[in-house]
Amino acid sequence: MSVGILALGAANSRSIVHALQRAGAEAVMLERPEQLAAVGALVLPGVAHVGYLIQALDRGNWRAPVLAAIASGLPTLGICAGFQLLCTRTEEAPALSGLGIFSGTVTKLRGEKIPHMGWSKVEARTSAFESGWAYFAHSYAPPAALRETLAITQCGAAFASAAGTGSVTGVQFHPERSAEYGARLLQRFVRMVREPAYAG
Amino acid sequence: MPAKRIIACLDVKNGRVVKGVRFEGLRDAGDPASCALQYCREGIDELVMLDVSATLEGRLAALQTVERIASEIDIPLTVGGGVRGEDDAVAILDAGADKVALNTAAVEDPAVLQRLASRYGSQCVVLSVDARRANGGYQVATRSATQATALDALQWARIGTALGAGEILLTAIDRDGTREGFDLQLIADFSRALNVPLIASGGARNADSFADALAAGADAALAASVFHDGLLGVAAVKQRCRERGIGVRP
Protein backbone atom coordinates (compact mmCIF):
# COMPACT_ATOMS: atom_id res chain seq x y z
CA MET A 1 0.00 0.00 0.00
CA SER A 2 1.69 3.15 -1.10
CA VAL A 3 0.97 6.85 -1.04
CA GLY A 4 1.46 8.68 -4.32
CA ILE A 5 2.79 12.24 -4.31
CA LEU A 6 1.84 14.28 -7.33
CA ALA A 7 5.09 15.46 -8.97
CA LEU A 8 4.08 18.94 -10.05
CA GLY A 9 7.44 20.57 -9.38
CA ALA A 10 6.68 21.66 -5.83
CA ALA A 11 9.80 22.30 -3.80
CA ASN A 12 9.34 20.08 -0.80
CA SER A 13 8.11 16.80 -2.23
CA ARG A 14 11.12 15.02 -0.81
CA SER A 15 10.33 16.18 2.75
CA ILE A 16 6.86 14.71 2.32
CA VAL A 17 8.28 11.40 1.10
CA HIS A 18 10.43 11.15 4.22
CA ALA A 19 7.64 12.22 6.57
CA LEU A 20 5.29 9.60 5.09
CA GLN A 21 8.00 6.98 5.52
CA ARG A 22 8.39 8.00 9.17
CA ALA A 23 4.60 7.59 9.47
CA GLY A 24 4.95 4.03 8.18
CA ALA A 25 3.91 4.37 4.55
CA GLU A 26 5.66 3.65 1.32
CA ALA A 27 5.73 6.87 -0.72
CA VAL A 28 6.22 7.19 -4.45
CA MET A 29 6.40 10.22 -6.72
CA LEU A 30 3.75 10.11 -9.45
CA GLU A 31 5.11 11.34 -12.77
CA ARG A 32 2.20 10.24 -15.01
CA PRO A 33 -1.59 10.09 -14.47
CA GLU A 34 -1.64 6.33 -15.24
CA GLN A 35 0.30 5.74 -12.04
CA LEU A 36 -2.68 6.93 -9.97
CA ALA A 37 -4.31 3.52 -10.29
CA ALA A 38 -1.47 1.86 -8.41
CA VAL A 39 -1.57 3.91 -5.21
CA GLY A 40 -3.77 3.69 -2.14
CA ALA A 41 -3.71 7.39 -1.28
CA LEU A 42 -2.70 10.68 -2.83
CA VAL A 43 -0.82 13.75 -1.59
CA LEU A 44 -0.91 17.10 -3.37
CA PRO A 45 2.27 18.77 -2.14
CA GLY A 46 2.68 22.34 -1.57
CA VAL A 47 5.75 24.53 -1.59
CA ALA A 48 5.05 26.42 -4.79
CA HIS A 49 3.26 29.38 -6.32
CA VAL A 50 -0.27 28.04 -6.73
CA GLY A 51 -0.45 29.34 -10.31
CA TYR A 52 2.61 27.29 -11.12
CA LEU A 53 0.95 24.21 -9.60
CA ILE A 54 -2.33 24.65 -11.48
CA GLN A 55 -0.48 25.08 -14.77
CA ALA A 56 1.62 21.99 -14.06
CA LEU A 57 -1.59 20.09 -13.25
CA ASP A 58 -3.11 20.95 -16.63
CA ARG A 59 0.11 20.61 -18.60
CA GLY A 60 0.51 17.08 -17.26
CA ASN A 61 -3.18 16.23 -17.95
CA TRP A 62 -3.72 15.47 -14.28
CA ARG A 63 -6.98 17.33 -13.69
CA ALA A 64 -9.54 14.76 -14.89
CA PRO A 65 -7.75 11.67 -13.49
CA VAL A 66 -7.19 13.34 -10.10
CA LEU A 67 -10.86 14.37 -9.91
CA ALA A 68 -11.89 10.84 -10.89
CA ALA A 69 -9.61 9.32 -8.25
CA ILE A 70 -11.04 11.65 -5.61
CA ALA A 71 -14.59 10.85 -6.74
CA SER A 72 -13.78 7.15 -6.33
CA GLY A 73 -12.95 7.81 -2.68
CA LEU A 74 -9.13 7.76 -2.87
CA PRO A 75 -7.84 9.21 0.43
CA THR A 76 -6.28 12.54 -0.56
CA LEU A 77 -4.29 15.10 1.39
CA GLY A 78 -3.56 18.59 0.06
CA ILE A 79 -0.74 20.43 1.80
CA CYS A 80 -0.33 24.24 1.76
CA ALA A 81 -0.62 25.26 -1.92
CA GLY A 82 -1.89 21.70 -2.51
CA PHE A 83 -4.82 22.57 -0.21
CA GLN A 84 -5.39 25.80 -2.14
CA LEU A 85 -5.36 23.79 -5.36
CA LEU A 86 -8.38 21.87 -4.01
CA CYS A 87 -10.40 25.10 -3.69
CA THR A 88 -12.50 26.70 -6.42
CA ARG A 89 -10.41 29.78 -7.12
CA THR A 90 -7.54 31.82 -5.75
CA GLU A 91 -6.72 35.51 -5.70
CA GLU A 92 -3.09 34.54 -6.30
CA ALA A 93 -3.90 33.29 -9.82
CA PRO A 94 -7.35 34.70 -10.61
CA ALA A 95 -7.40 33.56 -14.23
CA LEU A 96 -7.00 29.89 -13.28
CA SER A 97 -9.43 27.39 -11.75
CA GLY A 98 -8.66 25.04 -8.90
CA LEU A 99 -10.07 21.55 -8.52
CA GLY A 100 -13.21 22.83 -6.78
CA ILE A 101 -13.40 20.13 -4.09
CA PHE A 102 -13.64 22.86 -1.44
CA SER A 103 -16.13 25.54 -2.35
CA GLY A 104 -14.39 28.82 -1.78
CA THR A 105 -11.88 31.36 -3.02
CA VAL A 106 -8.39 31.47 -1.52
CA THR A 107 -7.61 35.03 -0.43
CA LYS A 108 -4.52 37.03 0.47
CA LEU A 109 -3.75 37.15 4.19
CA ARG A 110 -4.05 40.51 5.89
CA GLY A 111 -1.72 40.09 8.85
CA GLU A 112 0.84 42.65 9.92
CA LYS A 113 3.68 40.63 8.40
CA ILE A 114 3.11 38.47 5.35
CA PRO A 115 4.04 35.66 4.63
CA HIS A 116 2.54 34.06 7.73
CA MET A 117 5.73 32.24 8.68
CA GLY A 118 6.28 30.08 11.71
CA TRP A 119 4.37 28.14 14.35
CA SER A 120 0.72 28.97 15.02
CA LYS A 121 -2.14 27.30 16.81
CA VAL A 122 -4.52 25.13 14.84
CA GLU A 123 -7.92 25.33 16.56
CA ALA A 124 -10.16 22.40 15.69
CA ARG A 125 -13.79 23.23 14.93
CA THR A 126 -14.86 19.59 15.17
CA SER A 127 -13.95 16.70 17.44
CA ALA A 128 -12.85 14.81 14.31
CA PHE A 129 -9.75 17.00 14.06
CA GLU A 130 -6.93 17.64 16.51
CA SER A 131 -5.84 21.06 17.79
CA GLY A 132 -2.14 21.81 18.18
CA TRP A 133 0.87 23.83 17.07
CA ALA A 134 1.81 23.63 13.41
CA TYR A 135 4.32 25.22 11.07
CA PHE A 136 2.96 27.60 8.42
CA ALA A 137 4.63 29.39 5.51
CA HIS A 138 2.14 31.09 3.18
CA SER A 139 0.70 34.39 1.98
CA TYR A 140 -2.73 33.15 0.86
CA ALA A 141 -5.27 30.92 2.58
CA PRO A 142 -8.75 29.47 2.19
CA PRO A 143 -11.44 31.40 4.09
CA ALA A 144 -12.50 30.34 7.58
CA ALA A 145 -16.11 30.28 6.37
CA LEU A 146 -15.44 27.40 3.99
CA ARG A 147 -18.31 24.93 4.33
CA GLU A 148 -15.79 22.10 4.85
CA THR A 149 -13.64 23.85 7.51
CA LEU A 150 -12.23 21.49 10.16
CA ALA A 151 -9.92 23.94 11.92
CA ILE A 152 -9.05 27.62 11.90
CA THR A 153 -5.91 29.64 12.61
CA GLN A 154 -5.45 33.35 13.25
CA CYS A 155 -3.27 35.60 11.12
CA GLY A 156 -4.74 39.08 11.03
CA ALA A 157 -8.10 37.31 10.77
CA ALA A 158 -9.09 33.66 10.99
CA PHE A 159 -8.55 31.40 7.97
CA ALA A 160 -9.24 27.72 7.37
CA SER A 161 -6.11 25.84 8.42
CA ALA A 162 -7.78 22.50 7.70
CA ALA A 163 -10.80 21.37 5.74
CA GLY A 164 -12.26 18.01 4.85
CA THR A 165 -14.98 16.40 2.82
CA GLY A 166 -15.41 12.71 2.10
CA SER A 167 -11.95 11.17 1.77
CA VAL A 168 -10.25 14.51 1.05
CA THR A 169 -8.40 16.61 3.63
CA GLY A 170 -6.60 19.88 3.04
CA VAL A 171 -4.22 21.51 5.50
CA GLN A 172 -2.69 24.96 5.16
CA PHE A 173 0.22 24.07 7.46
CA HIS A 174 3.06 21.66 6.77
CA PRO A 175 2.49 18.39 8.64
CA GLU A 176 5.89 17.17 7.40
CA ARG A 177 7.49 20.08 9.26
CA SER A 178 5.18 20.32 12.29
CA ALA A 179 6.98 18.00 14.70
CA GLU A 180 4.81 15.54 16.68
CA TYR A 181 1.53 17.24 15.81
CA GLY A 182 2.20 16.88 12.09
CA ALA A 183 3.46 13.32 12.53
CA ARG A 184 0.19 12.33 14.21
CA LEU A 185 -1.81 13.83 11.35
CA LEU A 186 0.25 11.89 8.80
CA GLN A 187 -0.12 8.70 10.82
CA ARG A 188 -3.90 9.10 10.76
CA PHE A 189 -3.74 9.71 7.01
CA VAL A 190 -1.56 6.65 6.46
CA ARG A 191 -4.09 4.51 8.35
CA MET A 192 -6.67 5.49 5.71
CA VAL A 193 -4.54 4.23 2.82
CA ARG A 194 -6.54 1.66 0.90
CA GLU A 195 -5.61 -1.17 -1.40
CA PRO A 196 -4.90 0.12 -4.90
CA ALA A 197 -7.63 -0.14 -7.49
CA TYR A 198 -5.60 -2.55 -9.58
CA ALA A 199 -2.82 -4.64 -8.17
CA GLY A 200 -0.85 -4.75 -11.39
CA MET B 1 0.66 36.38 14.57
CA PRO B 2 2.68 33.17 14.81
CA ALA B 3 4.83 32.39 17.84
CA LYS B 4 8.24 34.04 17.87
CA ARG B 5 10.90 31.58 16.73
CA ILE B 6 14.21 30.48 18.17
CA ILE B 7 16.50 29.26 15.40
CA ALA B 8 19.80 27.39 15.55
CA CYS B 9 22.34 27.76 12.77
CA LEU B 10 24.63 24.94 11.65
CA ASP B 11 27.75 26.04 9.79
CA VAL B 12 28.69 23.17 7.50
CA LYS B 13 31.91 22.79 5.59
CA ASN B 14 32.57 19.81 3.30
CA GLY B 15 29.68 17.95 4.89
CA ARG B 16 30.77 18.46 8.51
CA VAL B 17 29.64 20.92 11.16
CA VAL B 18 32.38 23.43 11.85
CA LYS B 19 32.42 25.77 14.87
CA GLY B 20 32.59 23.14 17.58
CA VAL B 21 29.39 21.54 18.71
CA ARG B 22 29.51 20.24 22.24
CA PHE B 23 26.40 18.17 22.53
CA GLU B 24 26.63 15.58 25.22
CA GLY B 25 25.77 12.04 24.32
CA LEU B 26 26.28 12.49 20.60
CA ARG B 27 28.60 9.91 19.15
CA ASP B 28 29.76 12.28 16.44
CA ALA B 29 29.27 15.95 17.22
CA GLY B 30 30.51 16.93 13.76
CA ASP B 31 27.73 15.10 11.96
CA PRO B 32 25.18 17.68 10.76
CA ALA B 33 22.17 15.36 10.85
CA SER B 34 22.90 14.23 14.43
CA CYS B 35 23.25 17.84 15.53
CA ALA B 36 20.04 18.78 13.73
CA LEU B 37 18.13 15.99 15.45
CA GLN B 38 19.53 16.98 18.82
CA TYR B 39 18.31 20.56 18.29
CA CYS B 40 14.88 19.20 17.36
CA ARG B 41 14.74 17.23 20.60
CA GLU B 42 15.64 20.38 22.52
CA GLY B 43 12.66 22.21 21.04
CA ILE B 44 14.28 24.48 18.47
CA ASP B 45 11.67 25.98 16.11
CA GLU B 46 13.68 26.00 12.91
CA LEU B 47 17.15 25.21 11.61
CA VAL B 48 19.36 27.16 9.27
CA MET B 49 22.21 25.37 7.56
CA LEU B 50 24.92 27.62 6.19
CA ASP B 51 27.28 26.05 3.70
CA VAL B 52 30.70 27.59 4.23
CA SER B 53 32.55 25.29 1.80
CA ALA B 54 34.86 27.08 -0.56
CA THR B 55 35.16 24.35 -3.18
CA LEU B 56 32.84 22.68 -5.65
CA GLU B 57 33.37 19.32 -3.95
CA GLY B 58 32.43 20.97 -0.68
CA ARG B 59 29.25 22.35 -2.16
CA LEU B 60 28.25 18.99 -3.57
CA ALA B 61 28.84 17.44 -0.16
CA ALA B 62 26.64 20.19 1.27
CA LEU B 63 23.78 19.12 -1.00
CA GLN B 64 24.02 15.59 0.35
CA THR B 65 24.05 17.06 3.83
CA VAL B 66 20.88 19.02 3.10
CA GLU B 67 19.28 15.80 1.94
CA ARG B 68 20.30 13.93 5.09
CA ILE B 69 19.18 16.66 7.47
CA ALA B 70 15.91 17.24 5.61
CA SER B 71 15.09 13.54 5.63
CA GLU B 72 15.51 13.19 9.38
CA ILE B 73 14.09 16.35 10.93
CA ASP B 74 10.42 17.27 11.29
CA ILE B 75 10.79 21.04 11.59
CA PRO B 76 11.62 23.58 8.87
CA LEU B 77 15.08 23.87 7.34
CA THR B 78 16.51 26.94 5.61
CA VAL B 79 19.72 26.57 3.62
CA GLY B 80 22.06 29.35 2.60
CA GLY B 81 25.69 30.11 1.98
CA GLY B 82 27.34 29.78 -1.40
CA VAL B 83 24.08 29.86 -3.35
CA ARG B 84 25.37 31.14 -6.68
CA GLY B 85 22.06 31.56 -8.44
CA GLU B 86 18.79 30.01 -9.47
CA ASP B 87 20.22 26.56 -10.30
CA ASP B 88 21.86 26.23 -6.90
CA ALA B 89 18.66 27.38 -5.21
CA VAL B 90 16.59 24.83 -7.11
CA ALA B 91 19.07 22.05 -6.25
CA ILE B 92 18.92 22.99 -2.56
CA LEU B 93 15.11 23.00 -2.54
CA ASP B 94 15.03 19.72 -4.47
CA ALA B 95 17.33 18.25 -1.82
CA GLY B 96 14.66 18.95 0.78
CA ALA B 97 15.26 22.45 2.13
CA ASP B 98 12.05 24.33 2.92
CA LYS B 99 13.54 27.73 2.19
CA VAL B 100 16.65 28.99 0.49
CA ALA B 101 18.61 32.06 1.62
CA LEU B 102 20.45 34.20 -0.91
CA ASN B 103 22.88 37.05 -0.35
CA THR B 104 25.64 37.58 -2.94
CA ALA B 105 23.68 35.99 -5.79
CA ALA B 106 20.75 38.35 -5.15
CA VAL B 107 22.97 41.44 -4.96
CA GLU B 108 24.58 40.53 -8.27
CA ASP B 109 21.31 39.54 -9.96
CA PRO B 110 18.29 40.84 -8.00
CA ALA B 111 15.85 39.32 -10.52
CA VAL B 112 16.74 35.87 -9.20
CA LEU B 113 14.45 36.66 -6.24
CA GLN B 114 11.60 37.28 -8.63
CA ARG B 115 12.21 34.10 -10.60
CA LEU B 116 12.34 31.92 -7.50
CA ALA B 117 9.26 33.54 -5.95
CA SER B 118 7.20 33.08 -9.10
CA ARG B 119 7.92 29.36 -9.09
CA TYR B 120 8.05 28.50 -5.40
CA GLY B 121 6.24 31.40 -3.76
CA SER B 122 7.73 34.17 -1.63
CA GLN B 123 7.56 32.04 1.52
CA CYS B 124 10.37 29.93 0.07
CA VAL B 125 12.77 32.78 -0.64
CA VAL B 126 14.86 34.32 2.14
CA LEU B 127 17.03 37.36 1.51
CA SER B 128 20.10 37.21 3.67
CA VAL B 129 21.32 40.73 4.49
CA ASP B 130 24.75 41.02 6.07
CA ALA B 131 24.80 44.55 7.45
CA ARG B 132 27.93 46.36 8.54
CA ARG B 133 27.99 49.70 10.29
CA ALA B 134 29.53 52.30 7.96
CA ASN B 135 29.26 56.05 7.39
CA GLY B 136 26.62 56.49 10.06
CA GLY B 137 24.38 53.79 8.58
CA TYR B 138 24.47 50.14 7.61
CA GLN B 139 25.83 48.84 4.35
CA VAL B 140 25.40 45.44 2.73
CA ALA B 141 28.41 43.15 2.60
CA THR B 142 28.64 40.11 0.33
CA ARG B 143 30.90 37.07 -0.08
CA SER B 144 30.79 35.98 3.55
CA ALA B 145 31.16 39.59 4.69
CA THR B 146 34.52 39.99 2.91
CA GLN B 147 33.24 42.38 0.26
CA ALA B 148 31.73 45.77 0.97
CA THR B 149 29.03 47.24 -1.28
CA ALA B 150 27.57 50.72 -1.48
CA LEU B 151 24.06 49.38 -0.85
CA ASP B 152 22.18 50.72 2.15
CA ALA B 153 21.07 47.64 4.07
CA LEU B 154 17.46 48.68 4.72
CA GLN B 155 17.02 50.08 1.24
CA TRP B 156 18.26 46.79 -0.21
CA ALA B 157 15.93 44.77 2.03
CA ARG B 158 13.00 46.87 0.76
CA ILE B 159 14.00 46.19 -2.84
CA GLY B 160 14.48 42.50 -2.12
CA THR B 161 11.06 42.08 -0.55
CA ALA B 162 9.44 44.03 -3.38
CA LEU B 163 11.06 41.57 -5.80
CA GLY B 164 9.71 38.57 -3.95
CA ALA B 165 11.80 37.69 -0.90
CA GLY B 166 9.38 36.56 1.81
CA GLU B 167 11.71 36.81 4.76
CA ILE B 168 14.83 38.70 5.77
CA LEU B 169 17.73 37.04 7.58
CA LEU B 170 19.47 40.07 9.02
CA THR B 171 23.00 39.58 10.35
CA ALA B 172 24.71 42.39 12.18
CA ILE B 173 28.28 41.67 11.10
CA ASP B 174 29.75 43.86 13.83
CA ARG B 175 28.06 41.65 16.45
CA ASP B 176 28.58 38.26 14.81
CA GLY B 177 30.30 35.91 17.23
CA THR B 178 30.94 38.68 19.78
CA ARG B 179 28.28 37.68 22.34
CA GLU B 180 27.54 41.36 22.94
CA GLY B 181 23.81 40.99 22.40
CA PHE B 182 21.80 41.54 19.20
CA ASP B 183 21.86 44.96 17.50
CA LEU B 184 18.49 46.13 18.79
CA GLN B 185 18.44 49.43 16.93
CA LEU B 186 19.09 47.71 13.62
CA ILE B 187 16.36 45.15 14.36
CA ALA B 188 13.84 47.85 15.31
CA ASP B 189 14.58 49.87 12.17
CA PHE B 190 14.15 46.85 9.92
CA SER B 191 11.06 45.57 11.69
CA ARG B 192 9.31 48.95 11.47
CA ALA B 193 10.11 49.42 7.80
CA LEU B 194 9.43 45.94 6.45
CA ASN B 195 6.23 43.94 6.23
CA VAL B 196 7.82 40.49 5.95
CA PRO B 197 9.10 38.34 8.82
CA LEU B 198 12.54 39.23 10.16
CA ILE B 199 15.15 36.82 11.52
CA ALA B 200 17.74 38.58 13.68
CA SER B 201 21.26 37.18 13.78
CA GLY B 202 24.57 38.20 15.29
CA GLY B 203 25.47 38.81 18.91
CA ALA B 204 23.40 36.26 20.84
CA ARG B 205 24.60 36.30 24.41
CA ASN B 206 22.20 34.89 26.99
CA ALA B 207 18.51 34.03 27.23
CA ASP B 208 17.60 37.67 27.79
CA SER B 209 19.40 38.74 24.63
CA PHE B 210 16.98 36.59 22.59
CA ALA B 211 14.01 38.11 24.40
CA ASP B 212 15.48 41.58 23.72
CA ALA B 213 15.77 40.90 19.98
CA LEU B 214 12.22 39.53 19.78
CA ALA B 215 10.83 42.42 21.83
CA ALA B 216 12.64 44.86 19.51
CA GLY B 217 10.61 43.53 16.59
CA ALA B 218 12.36 40.42 15.28
CA ASP B 219 10.05 37.53 14.45
CA ALA B 220 12.83 35.04 15.05
CA ALA B 221 16.25 35.14 16.69
CA LEU B 222 19.09 32.97 15.42
CA ALA B 223 22.30 31.85 17.03
CA ALA B 224 25.09 29.43 16.34
CA SER B 225 27.89 29.41 18.86
CA VAL B 226 25.97 29.98 22.10
CA PHE B 227 24.00 26.85 21.33
CA HIS B 228 26.91 24.88 19.85
CA ASP B 229 29.19 25.63 22.76
CA GLY B 230 26.55 24.50 25.20
CA LEU B 231 26.47 27.93 26.90
CA LEU B 232 22.73 28.10 26.49
CA GLY B 233 19.88 25.61 26.11
CA VAL B 234 16.87 26.13 23.87
CA ALA B 235 14.45 25.42 26.73
CA ALA B 236 16.07 28.08 28.93
CA VAL B 237 15.80 30.66 26.14
CA LYS B 238 12.13 29.89 25.61
CA GLN B 239 11.42 29.92 29.33
CA ARG B 240 12.93 33.41 29.65
CA CYS B 241 10.94 34.63 26.63
CA ARG B 242 7.71 33.37 28.21
CA GLU B 243 8.57 35.09 31.51
CA ARG B 244 8.97 38.31 29.58
CA GLY B 245 5.59 37.91 27.88
CA ILE B 246 6.88 36.83 24.47
CA GLY B 247 4.80 34.09 22.86
CA VAL B 248 6.91 31.11 21.84
CA ARG B 249 5.96 27.59 20.81
CA PRO B 250 5.65 25.28 23.82
Asked if A155 and B1 come within 8 Å (Cβ–Cβ), the reply is yes
- Contact in structure between A179 and B75 (CB atoms under 8 Å): yes
Cβ contacts (< 8 Å) between B122 and chain A: which residues? 115, 139
pLDDT score, position A49: 87
Q: Which of B93, B119, B123 to mutate to test the interface with A (most CBs of A within 10 A)?
A: B123
Smallest CA-to-CA distance from A157 within A144, A172, A138 is with A144
Q: Choosing among A14, A106, A180, A181, which should be mutated to test the B contact, i.e. which has the most B CBs within 10 A?
A: A14
Q: Nearest CA to A25 among A59, A1, A53, A5?
A: A1
Q: Which CATH class is domain B5-243?
A: alpha beta
**Residue A176 annotated in active site:** yes
What residue ranges of chain B have pLDDT lower than 50? none
Task: Kindly identify which residue of chain B lies nearest to residue A17, measuring between CA atoms.
Answer: B71
The DSSP secondary structure of chain A, one letter per residue, reads: -EEEEE-SS-TTHHHHHHHHHHTT-EEEEE-SGGGGGG-SEEEE--SS-HHHHHHHHHHTT-HHHHHHHHHTT--EEEETHHHHHTEEEETTSTTS----SEEEEEEE--SSSSSEEEEEEEEESSTTS--EEEEEEESEE-BTT-TTEEEEEEESEEEEEEEEETTEEEESS-GGGSHHHHHHHHHHHHHH----S---
According to the model, what pLDDT value does residue A200 have?
A: 39
Query: What does the alpha-carbon distance between residue B210 and residue B203 come to, in Å, rounded to a whole number?
Result: 10
Contact A81 B76 (CB under 8 A): no
**Low-confidence stretches of chain A (pLDDT beneath 50):** 199-200
* B4, B74, B124 member nearest A182 (Cβ): B74
Which among A113, A102, A106, A118 has a CA at the least distance from the CA of A159? Answer: A106
Q: How far apart are CA B214 and CA A192, in angstroms?
A: 41
Residues of B with Cβ-Cβ distance to A138 under 8 angstroms = 121, 123
Annotated active-site residue in A87, A92, A116, A174: A174
Spatial CA neighbour of A5 closest among B134, A18, B226, B40: A18
ipTM metric: 0.94
Tell me the fold of A2-194: Rossmann fold (3.40.50)
Beta bridge partners of A159: A143, A153
Q: What is the pTM of this model?
A: 0.94
Q: Shortest Cα distance from B119 to chain A (angstroms)?
A: 5
Q: With contacts defined as CB-CB under 8 Å, which chain A residues touch B5?
A: 118-119
Which residue in chain A is spatially nearest to B37 when comparing CA positions?
A179
Q: Could you tell me the CA-to-CA distances from A86 to A104, A106, A120, B49, B54 in Å, in that order?
A: 9, 10, 22, 33, 44
Distance of CA A37 to the CA centre of its chain: 19
Compute the distance between CA of residue B20 and CA of residue B138 in angstroms, rounded to an integer: 30
Cross-chain Cβ contact B98/A177 below 8 Å: yes
> How many residues in chain B?
250
Answer yes or no: do A47 and B93 touch at CB < 8 A.
Answer: yes
- Residue A133 has its nearest CB partner, among B71, B93, B249, at B249
Q: Give residue B35's pLDDT.
A: 94
Of B202, B187, B105, the closest CA to residue B153 belongs to B187
Q: Decide: A175 and A134 in contact? Cβ < 8 Å.
A: yes
CB contact under 8 A, B119 and A9: yes
Min CA distance, B146 vs chain A (Å)? 30
- Which residues of B carry out catalysis? 11, 130
Cα A142 to Cα A129: distance, rounded to the nearest angstrom: 17
Cα A168 to its chain centre, rounded Å, is 9
Each domain of chain A, given as residue ranges in start order, spans 2-194
Residues of B near A (CB-CB distance < 8 A)?
1-5, 40, 45-46, 67, 70-72, 74-76, 93-99, 117-124, 166-167, 194-198, 219-220, 249-250
Which of A111, A133, A115 has the alpha carbon at shortest distance from A124?
A133
Hey, are the CB atoms on A115 and B122 less than 8 Å from each other? Answer: yes
Distance between CA B183 and CA A17 in Å, rounded? Answer: 40
